[in-house]
Structure 1
Amino acid sequence: MQNSTTRKPIEIKISTVVAVAILLNESSFPAVEAALKEMTAGSPDFFDDEFAVIDVEAITDQELDWNALIPLFKAHGLNPVAVRHAREEDHATIRSHGLSIDVVSKPRAEPEIQASQVQVPAPVEVTPVAPPVAAEPQVIIRNMPAMVIDTPVRAGQRVYARGADLIITASVNNGAEVIADGSIHIYAPLRGRALAGATGNTEARIFAMTMEPELVSIAGIYRTFENGFPPLQAHHPAQVKLNGDSIEVSSVKSAG
């Protein structure tokens, strides 16, 4: 019996893919290689084949050895898919490695107005009006929806709460990754990776009943714990937040 629903050979749908950003501030290949080795501490699966966008805005006036850099990132578990702010003369080389050119749109310039084009209206007499009575300040509360996960997030699994907070009532194991555009709340141990404020929300936070992560990130600023986790108050949940440009980890103390 033939299926009444005809499946198309190919379908295209909108999909959200989370990619890390590689911000290159140095064009020297040895310097980049040494920094990657220090960052990963020799661990071959530190980045676990993460999709990556290489951003070279800080060094657009410098020549880069793309034939060496791209294989270097791949060797350290990063999977570059695009380059942002690349020089036009480098586009062909970048595309030859299978990467896309991420075009960053620039705001259109406002048309310049010459002094002769400006018409000044004739002065008019204005009758004084009593100042309005000050109104009570309006408080605007923006609620962000939440994704709730009730099962453990195991090694190799990735959960992404797009446009939402993420609430997990079970453990996040080593090798697992949880991501949210808002904050992350874990009512169990956090031992994998947690990335909050994925689209740039610097006010996002990460909360966990037991904080033992491999990596945490807020709005793209991350911190790893190869040298051990900072001592926290025993039997208290912990939180991760941004303090300026650095990650701060502290206990959540109950009031009273």
Structure 2
Amino acid sequence: MQNSLTRKPIEIKISTVVAVAILLHDASTSVLEAALQEMTAGSPDFFDDEFAVIDVEAIADAEVDWNALIPLFKAHGLNPVAVRNAREEDYDTIRSHGLSIDVVSKPRLETEQATAPAPVVVEVPATAPVEPQIIVRNNPAMVIDTPVRAGQRIYARGADLIITASVNNGAEVIADGSIHIYAPLRGRALAGATGNTEARIFALTMEPELVSIAGIYRTFENGFPPLQANHPVQVKLNGDSIEVSSVKLVG
């Protein structure tokens, strides 16, 4: 008689998987390969087999050589799992490489007032009132009290991330909101993971391998910018670039 408590052969559960977005602005494989070489400085573990979603919206009318493009990303440590904004005639080729088709629903206003905003990015008419402080006020937080060690990845989904211990080299911390680290940051920190451009990264000591806000990233192979000693550091977006500055303490 089979034991009713026997574990099932398979279980399906909801899981969160963080993937980087590859936004293509050129369809030439040689151009993209040169850009990847420059970006990674030839380091084979720069991306460390990150899951990736390829977005081709910016080159929607271009012919993409998928048979060359997907192996190119894999050779540089990126692991494509899906393609966004692809042409329907390319679906079979994309799927033949084991990738999914990520169908994006475009937000639209049926009346003068939208009844439900898009969950990640909302285009608001210039005349509409905007109260971003409400988002910040209601943002929950995940709190981590132990060091984040090499090889570990922590993701605060829909929340800020607060860490009271160090984030070591080779570790990765991710948040849909802001990241606050009351200790040294030496690994990777990615804030605003779902597109929040107002997100920031704060740390008592900033020595990161990489920082990112809303998908815009910066590395520090050439050293960290000189900042005021014994002051916390913040990372934020200034237009389309990452800005690193000391936090001015009042009092």
Q: Please, what TM-score do these two structures have when normalized by structure 2?
A: 0.86
Query: Matched residue of 1:92: which SS?
Result: helix
Cα distance, 1:66–1:179 mapped onto 2, change above 3 Å? same
Q: Name the residue aligned to 2:227.
A: 232
Identity within the alignment, %: 89
The RMSD of aligned alpha carbons is: 1.9
Distance 1:197 1:109, change over 3 A: closer
Q: Residues 1-39 of structure 1, C-alpha deviation per residue, up to 9 Å, x if partnerless?
A: x86523221111111111000000001111000000000
User: Which residue in the other structure is 2:71 paired with?
Assistant: 71
Structure 2 counterpart SS, 1:72: helix
Q: 1:3 to 1:170 in 2, by over 3 A?
A: farther
Counterpart code for 1:173: N
Q: How many residues align?
A: 229
Report which of the two structures shows the higher radius of gyration computed on alpha carbons. 1
Within 5 Å, which residues of 2 pair with 1:25-174? 25-106=25-106, 140=134, 142-174=137-169
- What is the rounded CA distance, in whole Å, between the counterparts of 2:199 and 2:107 in structure 1? 28
Corresponding residue for residue 201 of structure 1: 196
CA change 1:152–1:107 in 2 (3 A) is closer
Q: Give the secondary-structure state (helix, strand or coil) at the position aligned to 2:137.
A: coil
1:51-84: CA deviation from partner (whole Å, max 9, x where unpaired): 0000000111110111111011001110000001
3-state secondary structure, aligned to 1:94: helix
2-structure distance, mates of 1:201, 1:106: 18
Work out whether 1:241 is the aligned partner of 2:236.
Answer: yes
Query: Helix, strand or coil: the match of 2:35?
Result: helix
Q: Secondary structure at the match of 2:58?
A: helix
Deviation of the 1:167 alpha carbon: 0.8
SS of the equivalent of 2:47 reads: coil
Equivalent runs, 1:2-21 vs 2, <5 Å: 5-21=5-21
How far is the alpha carbon of 1:106 from its aligned partner?
3.8
Q: Which runs of 4+ in 1 moved over 6 A?
A: none
Q: TM-score, normalised by structure 1?
A: 0.85
Q: Deviations over 1:156-201 (max 9, x none)?
A: 1100011111111111111100001111111111010000111111
Deviation at 1:144, TM superposition (A): 1.4
Task: State the 1:110 CA deviation.
Answer: 5.7
CA offset digits 1:122-165 (Å, max 9, x no partner): xxxxxxxxxxxxxxxxx857221111111111111100011111
Q: What is the alpha-carbon distance in structure 1 between the residues aligned to residue 107 and residue 230 of structure 2?
A: 51
Q: Secondary structure at the match of 1:11?
A: coil
- Deviation (angstroms), 1:105: 2.1
Amino acid corresponding to residue 86 of structure 1 in structure 2: A
Amino acid at match of 1:250: S
The one-letter amino acid of 2:183's match is A
CA displacement at 1:109 relative to structure 2: 8.8
